[in-house]
Structure formats: structure tokens, C-alpha cells
Amino acid sequence: MLVNKKIISRFSQYREVLLKFQEMGLSKIFSNVLGDAVGVTSAQVRKDFSLHGISGNKRGGYQIEDLLHELRSILGKDKVHHVVVVGIGNLGRALIQYTGFDKEGIQIVAGFDIDPAKVNKRNRIPVYHLDELNKYVCENQIQIGVLAVPDAAAQSVCNIMVDSDIKGILNFAQIRLIAPEDVVINSVFLQMELENVIYFVNAMENKCTRCRSS
Amino acid sequence: MLVNKKIISRFSQYREVLLKFQEMGLSKIFSNVLGDAVGVTSAQVRKDFSLHGISGNKRGGYQIEDLLHELRSILGKDKVHHVVVVGIGNLGRALIQYTGFDKEGIQIVAGFDIDPAKVNKRNRIPVYHLDELNKYVCENQIQIGVLAVPDAAAQSVCNIMVDSDIKGILNFAQIRLIAPEDVVINSVFLQMELENVIYFVNAMENKCTRCRSS
DNA sequence: ACGTTTTTGTGATTTTAATCACATTTAAAA
DNA sequence: TTTTAAATGTGATTAAAATCACAAAAACGT
Ligand SMILES: NC(=O)c1ccc[n+]([C@@H]2O[C@H](COP(=O)([O-])OP(=O)(O)OC[C@H]3O[C@@H](n4cnc5c(N)ncnc54)[C@H](O)[C@@H]3O)[C@@H](O)[C@H]2O)c1
Ligand SMILES: NC(=O)c1ccc[n+]([C@@H]2O[C@H](COP(=O)([O-])OP(=O)(O)OC[C@H]3O[C@@H](n4cnc5c(N)ncnc54)[C@H](O)[C@@H]3O)[C@@H](O)[C@H]2O)c1
């Protein structure tokens, strides 16, 4: 099995665009149109599909429905995935309050925090004390967790999650988590993403100045 | 000038780790230690530095202070960057309430929203009506903005930001923004990041099953 | 029915990024 | 001082990803 993060990201994007096209009433699509919509070349689109055994019709493009069906299964959209969020601070709260995941088969089912003040079992999405994580995860067979605790606590909370048999973690703490080989860790470093923008804005500016002066 | 997003991300990470080492009282570091801390090879570390004209001492490693000095200027940390957040919903609120950016020279100075109920000029970080964005950005020479409005509004708000002369946007809406060449757009697709985790957890599971059965 | 046009599918090629591997330098030990 | 051991710095190599380019298929017009 190919384990290439970038191709999966593209698949996610293809899917999103295809859903929109489908909503607009279209039933087929060409690689160049899809590529344009996602920002990649048509060859990239065809190769991505080809490598995953997805084929279209010469001259007729791809059937959107077929593509969506394949992407559904590749991306694991054929079942609902239950997710817990650990750390109900600024970010954790934003995530559990966001309602857009549901329609994508991602259901945030519970939050956990170490602060008793954050606990509230009557929320739309209940928030429990961290101590209950292990039990909850085992009983409900949760495989995916979001980690949104302060950096200093992140590794220890990660360990707890791993011990509870969570198999995939989306991490927002600005540290590199250590976890067993069979646990998937995907970290989003928000500060770094912002720094990236700043860097390129600076770089652009310098380039332009140089251009003007030359 | 090299414009490689990945190398800049690594620089951000090097910097973060180096700050920690410095706090711990260390003054020099070897490429293999830094590499381990960030999760890359020592050769990668040396090449990154070498390509940017940063050199250490044969056998003596790198002076942390020197490295930090260079990284500071490469990453534009030598001045404070003012940032505005547009869309004070779940995510926007999380960002303006987060206090960790400040110590990295990133200062969120104002929020903007179209909903009058979100406007509050007496906040620690004041929130204004979207109509005031243009004036504020021009008067305060803001170059960087965060976009956290609903997907459907994102492109039009992006246009307003670009018109106001914002040069870099960190975008959280799940669409590909169209903007002029000289505007830096960096998009964080949170849903996709979560889907990525789900995909790899699924992939792992299938692989293991196959392993067991073989 | 038949040629034209359009689009796929993919091997070949190019580009980009990462790793290797080793000559070179130098800090520390003997 | 001399030796030894340990790092760097970088050209060469390998690996990975993207693009090219074109044969093959098939929808469409005439
Ligand atoms: N909010 C942002 O905009 C932002 C930006 C960049 C990075 N981050 C990162 O995201 C993470 C979370 O940020 P935040 O702003 O939501 O932080 P926060 O301080 O608002 O929330 C953290 C939450 O985790 C809880 N917590 C603390 N220790 C815990 C533990 N051991 N177990 C369970 N819960 C625990 C706290 O009670 C709190 O509710 C941090 O690592 C931060 O570096 C956040
Ligand atoms: N919150 C999450 O966890 C999450 C997860 C995945 C993706 N996202 C994406 O992030 C973006 C923001 O998400 P959110 O949960 O914060 O949304 P939200 O609905 O909570 O907040 C959106 C805010 O934008 C404001 N707004 C609407 N139209 C506007 C306009 N034209 N100009 C200025 N402000 C406007 C609204 O008043 C609201 O305050 C969305 O595009 C969403 O797809 C969020």
C-alpha cells in the first residue's frame, strides 16, 4: 500500500471538489478540469487515479459518481469515524463546536480535560474528566483522538491516549510526539504555518525591492 | 532566494528546539542532536544550514547563539509582525485568545467580523466590523491576515483583504483561494488533516490484518 | 461508415529533495 | 607536541515526485 501523505491530501481535495460539481448537477469530469479546481496538472490527476486502479473513459472523462465511490472507500468514508478531543481549551472548544465534520462522516463524540471546570456531561458533545478517557475509549472502541493540550502536557497525554489504544492522533501541540510505530501521528503546527506566511511575505518584499533597484 | 516551504518549516522547528536547548543552559549543538530532536537526519541539518551560508565548527558543532541569530533573520523574527484575524467564530476566537504567539514576535492586533454581535472594541484584542478592515489595515500597515470565515464567504473576504493590501493570508476555509501572484496564501485544511489520520489508521489496520494472516 | 478530435493511461524523462560517504578540520587526550 | 577521535561541509548518488509526450481508445460530426 502506498503511504504517501501528499497523494491522500489530493484525494481529499478531489473528493471535495467532486462533491461540489455533483451538487451542481454534473455527472462527468475531465482530468484537466479537476486538476484546475485543485491546483494540480491534469497528468497528476490521471496518474493519481491510475495508480489506484481508478479508470475513466477515453474521451469521455471520468464519471463523478464512480470517482466518489472509489474515493469514499480509499478515504475510509464508508463508515462513520468517532473521534475524541483531549484538551478543551481555545482550540479544543473550537473543534467540538464546529459542526462541519459530521457531514463528512467524522463524528466528535466526546471531549476530555483535566480541569474539572471544563467538565460538562450535558453538552451537545459531553466533556469528561481525563481520568475517564481510558474507560470511554475502550468501551466505545475509539481509534482517533485530537490532542489540544498545552505543549508541556502533550507527551504525557499522548502516552495516556496510546495506552488507551488510540491508533491515530491529530496533534496541535508544538512538540514532536514520541509514540509507537503503529500509532499514526499527524501534527499541525499552527504557529509554524503563520511563520511560513511571514517568511514568504518578507521574501517577496525583498525580491521586489531588488527588482525595482535593478 | 530559495522558496521551499519545507526547508522553512524545518528552520522554524530548528529554532524552537534550539530555544529549548538554550534555556537548558547549552551553548553548542551537533547536527545529529538537532536532527534527532526535529526528526530529520544530521546530513539534512547540515545541508540546510550550509545552503543558507550558516557554518559551524568542525568537530565543535554549532554555536546555538549563532544559529538562533541567523534563524532570527531568516525567519523575519527581528521585528514584531502585526496580524489581523478575519472571522471571529470558533476558530478565529481560539486564535485571538491564544497568548503563545506574542513571545514569538507575532502580535494579533485586531479581529474583524461581519456580525455586529461579535464586535467589541474593549477586548484585550479589539474586534471591529468588517467594514473597518480596509481603513485599519492601511492605517496600521498590516501585511498579514488570518482568514477564518465560513467557506462560502472566504473568497469574497479574501478579495477584500487583498484590496486592503494584505500580502499574506493564513487561510482556514476549505477552499482554494484565488489571489494575485504577489500575495502569499497558506491554507490549513483541518478536516483534511483529520482525514489523513483516519486514512493511515485504516491503512495500518489493513496491513496488520494481512500480516497476521500471512 | 469514416475520419477527426479529444481525452485517457502510462512509459520515459525531468525535476526536486534527501541521503550517502568521505575528505577536511579541529578539539581534546595522551 | 603529536595523535586520535569526532564533527562539519559538500560533491556524488539515490530516491521520490511531478511532468512530458504520445499511442490508444472512443465520442462526435459529417
Ligand atoms: N489556540 C491557538 O490558536 C493555538 C495556536 C498555536 C498552537 N496552539 C497549540 O494548541 C494547543 C492547545 O492550545 P489552546 O490555546 O487550546 O490551549 P488552552 O490553554 O486554551 O487549552 C488547553 C486545555 O488543555 C487542558 N489541559 C491541560 N493539561 C491537561 C492534561 N494533562 N490533560 C487534559 N487536559 C489538559 C486545560 O485545562 C485546557 O482546557 C497548545 O499546545 C498550543 O501550543 C494553539
Ligand atoms: N472550527 C473548526 O474546528 C474548523 C474545522 C475545520 C474547518 N474549519 C474552517 O474554518 C473556517 C471557520 O470555521 P469556524 O468554525 O470558526 O466558523 P464559524 O461559523 O464559527 O465562524 C465564522 C465567523 O465568520 C463570520 N463571518 C461570516 N461571514 C463573514 C464575512 N463575510 N466577513 C467577515 N466575517 C464573516 C461569522 O460571523 C462568524 O463569526 C470555516 O471555513 C471552516 O470550514 C473550522
* In chain A, where the domains are located: 5-74, 81-191
Task: Please report, rounded to a whole number, the percentage of residues in chain A having pLDDT higher than 90.
Answer: 86
B94·A97 Cβ contact <8 A: no
Instruction: Give pLDDT tens digits for A23-54.
Output: 999 999 999 999 999 999 999 999 999 999 99
How far apart are alpha carbons B108 and B97 in whole angstroms?
A: 9
Which nucleotide is closest, CA of A32 to its C1'?
Answer: C7
Residues 6+ positions from B45 with CB-CB distance below 8 Å: B14, B31, B32, B34, B35, B38
* C-beta A172 within 6 A of ligand 1: yes
Query: Angle A157-A163-A167 (CA atoms, 0-180°, nearest 5)?
Result: 90
C-alpha cell at B121: 472594541
Q: Which nucleotides of C are covered by protein (CB under 7 A)?
A: 5-11, 16-21, 24-27
pLDDT at residue A36, as a whole number: 95
Task: Please report, rounded to a whole number, the percentage of residues in chain A having pLDDT higher than 70.
Answer: 95
* A123 has pLDDT over 60: yes
Are A192 and A164 in contact by the 8 Å Cβ rule? The answer is no
Ligand 1 centre distance from Cα of residue A113 (Å): 10
A 10 A CB-CB count for A89 gives 17
Average pLDDT over residues A160-181: 95
| Distance between start and end Cα atoms, chain B | 51
Q: SS3 sequence, B82-150? A: EEEEECCCHHHHHHHHCCCCHHHCEEEEEEEECCHHHCECCCCCCEEEHHHHHHHHHHHCCCEEEECCC
Residues, chain A:
214
Which nucleotide is closest, CA of A2 to its C1'?
Answer: D16
Torsion angle, alpha carbons of B197, B198, B202, B204, to 10:
10
pLDDT at residue B39, as a whole number: 94
Average pLDDT over residues A174-192: 92
* C-beta A90 within 6 A of ligand 1: yes
Name the pLDDT band for A207 (thresholds 50, 70, 90).
low
Average pLDDT over residues A161-185: 94
| Secondary element (H or E) of residue A29 | strand A28-29
Ligand 2 centre distance from Cα of residue B144 (Å): 18
How far apart are alpha carbons A156 and B158 in whole angstroms?
A: 39
Measured between beta carbons, the chain A residues lying within 8 angstroms of B38 are 176
Ligand nearest to the CA of B148: 2
Average pLDDT, chain A: 93
Q: Give the closest residue to A153 by CA, choosing from A173, A136, A134, A125.
A: A173
Name the pLDDT band for A212 (thresholds 50, 70, 90).
very low
Residues 6+ positions from B138 with CB-CB distance below 8 Å: B164, B165
The H-assigned helical ranges of chain A are 5-23, 31-38, 42-51, 64-74, 90-97, 133-140, 151-163, 190-213
How far apart are alpha carbons B130 and B157 in whole angstroms?
A: 9
Name the pLDDT band for A112 (thresholds 50, 70, 90).
very high
Strands A81-86 and A144-147, how do they pair?
A: parallel
Q: Which of A106, A174, A198, A211 to mutate to test the interface with B (most CBs of B within 10 A)?
A: A198
Which B residues 1-30 touch A at CB under 8 Å? 1, 3, 5, 8-9, 12-13, 16
Question: Which value, in Å, is the radius of gyration of the alpha carbons in chain B?
Answer: 21
pLDDT at residue A49, as a whole number: 97
pLDDT at residue B209, as a whole number: 58
CA distance A2 to chain B (A): 9
Q: Which nucleotides of D are covered by protein (CB under 7 A)?
A: 5-11, 16-21, 24-27
**Domain B81-191 sits in CATH 3.30.70.260:** no
B201·A167 Cβ contact <8 A: yes
C-alpha cell at B70: 541567523
* A173 has pLDDT over 90: yes
State the nearest residue by CA to the C1' of D25: A58
Nearest CA to ligand 1 atom 27: A149
Instruction: Give pLDDT tens digits for A58-110.
Output: 999 999 999 999 999 999 899 999 999 999 999 999 999 999 999 899 999 99
A191·B37 Cβ contact <8 A: no
Name the pLDDT band for A209 (thresholds 50, 70, 90).
low
How far apart are alpha carbons B82 and A190 in whole angstroms?
A: 16
Q: Which residues of chain B have pLDDT under 70?
A: 1-3, 207-214
Residues 6+ positions from A175 with CB-CB distance below 8 Å: A151, A154, A155
Are B9 and A196 in contact by the 8 Å Cβ rule? The answer is yes
Name the pLDDT band for A214 (thresholds 50, 70, 90).
very low
How far apart are alpha carbons B68 and B103 in whole angstroms?
A: 15
Are B184 and B168 in contact by the 8 Å Cβ rule? The answer is yes
Average pLDDT over residues A129-141: 98
How far apart are alpha carbons B11 and B38 in whole angstroms?
A: 10
How far apart are alpha carbons B163 and B141 in whole angstroms?
A: 13
Average pLDDT over residues A123-152: 97
| CATH number for region A5-74 | 1.10.10.10
Q: Among all chains, which residue has been given the C-alpha cell 462527468? A: A28
This prediction's pTM: 0.94
Q: Does A97 touch chain B (CB under 8 A)?
A: yes
* A210 has pLDDT over 80: no
Ligand 1 centre distance from Cα of residue B155 (Å): 30
pLDDT at residue B213, as a whole number: 40
